Amino acid sequence: MRIILNIIIKEFLQLKRDPKLFGVIFIAPILQLILLGYAATMDVNTIHFSILDRDKTTTSRQFIEKFTKSGYFTEEANVNNYKEAENLIDKGKTILTLVIPKDFEKDINRKLTAKVQAIFDGSNGNETSIAAGYVQGIVASYSNKLLLDVQNKSEKKIQNLSTINPEIRIWYNPELKTRKFMVPSILGLLLMVITIILMSMAVVKEREIGTLEQVIVTPIKPIQLIIGKLVPFIIVGFIDIILVLSVMVFWFDIGIRGDFFFLLFSSLLFVLSTLGLGLLISTISKTQQQAMMVAQFAVMMPMIYLSGFTFPIENMPQIIQYITYLIPLRYFITILRSVILKGTGFVELLPQVGMLFFLGVVILTASILNFRKRLN
């Protein structure tokens, strides 16, 4: 026990001596969360568009106004022909051109179907489909308004048509802000990056400078050495979680609806597998650089892509969905989102907690066995 404590003290002393590393561990996560919290948003708020108005009437201007005043659309230019509109799209200045044909007003007044054309830049599919949704919404509400106007003006009352009007209520994130959805998962990401990188440096660094050999001729048992190395990083991980959670609560104003201690408990389970992976990387690598590359490209990048952080897992091909079952980050992100946004408790999340625990124990045990084997 005293021997383990001795190693832990040594690790913290070394951490203290390395101001750069200190910054990476405690300052970088806070800055990253703030930065990513603002950057990682898929909300489409400003759609730059151009207008090709061939009608040039009061009605067409009224119609355009519906767009510019909606708060989502920014008019970049009034163009005179398709060529100019295309040019703006090619330059990336706009993603949409709204074409109002001649006789727009006339058709409306004649009670005919008036047509407008919306040309989109489909290269960013996600943004485009959201923008197209907005366009449809605005057009629909404008047609409704026309209908009502006709109704009000006409002498004889038009019979009421029965319609179904859905009243949509969105729970947990009423404004559908992506930030609310992203920030809790970024927390998981940061915890993963810090713990994997720190741990993957831990053993290989000592091997490189030669102290590992010196330590293994001492009567220290491999398990004591590993615990002595793991505990400091678990502590560092917890300090980071608390720092990052504070930023989330006090800076982004995203409260934790669920149980704070349950969140910490699941973080501990998650850290078992990230530290296990870090230890594995550190054991098989010959140099710190190699460890860094393996950590980034072979471990962290696939973890991020397959965790549901960037792409929804439900949309992945079945075979890839099966692979995601092995990604600890997947379960941790689900837990983070559920506990923070929905206030979900332990019972509902038991499958995720169970998987995190299972993966953590398996990965860590395998890494420890591998480490002991390599030492001999």
The residues binding other proteins (CB under 8 A) are 2-3, 6-7, 9-10, 13-14, 17-18, 209-211, 213-221, 375-376
Q: Which residue number, 2 or 153, has a Cβ lying nearer to other proteins? A: 2
Tell me the closest approach of the beta carbon of residue 5 to other proteins, in angstroms: 8
Cβ atoms of 281 and 196 closer than 8 Å:
yes
User: Among residues 361, 365, 205, 363, which one has the least CA distance to residue 283?
Assistant: 205
**131 vs 202, beta carbon nearer other proteins:** 202
Report, in Å, the least distance between residue 193 CB and other proteins.
Answer: 23
Task: Report yes or no: 286 and 319 within 8 Å, Cβ to Cβ.
Answer: no
Q: Using CA atoms, how far apart are residues 146 and 158, in angstroms rounded to an integer? A: 14
Minimal distance in Å, beta carbon 320 to other proteins? Answer: 39
Closer Cβ to other proteins, 77 or 220, answer by number:
220
Backbone angles phi, psi at 288, to 5 degrees: -65, -35
H runs (alpha helix) in the chain: 2-17, 19-26, 28-39, 58-68, 82-90, 104-109, 125-153, 178-209, 211-216, 222-246, 260-284, 288-293, 301-306, 318-324, 328-337, 350-375
- Closest distance of CB 316 from other proteins, Å: 43
Q: Is the Cβ–Cβ distance between 258 and 343 less than 8 Å?
A: yes
Beta carbon nearer to other proteins, 124 or 288? 288
Question: What's the closest the beta carbon of residue 73 comes to other proteins, in angstroms?
Answer: 58
Nearer to other proteins, 180 or 229 (CB): 229
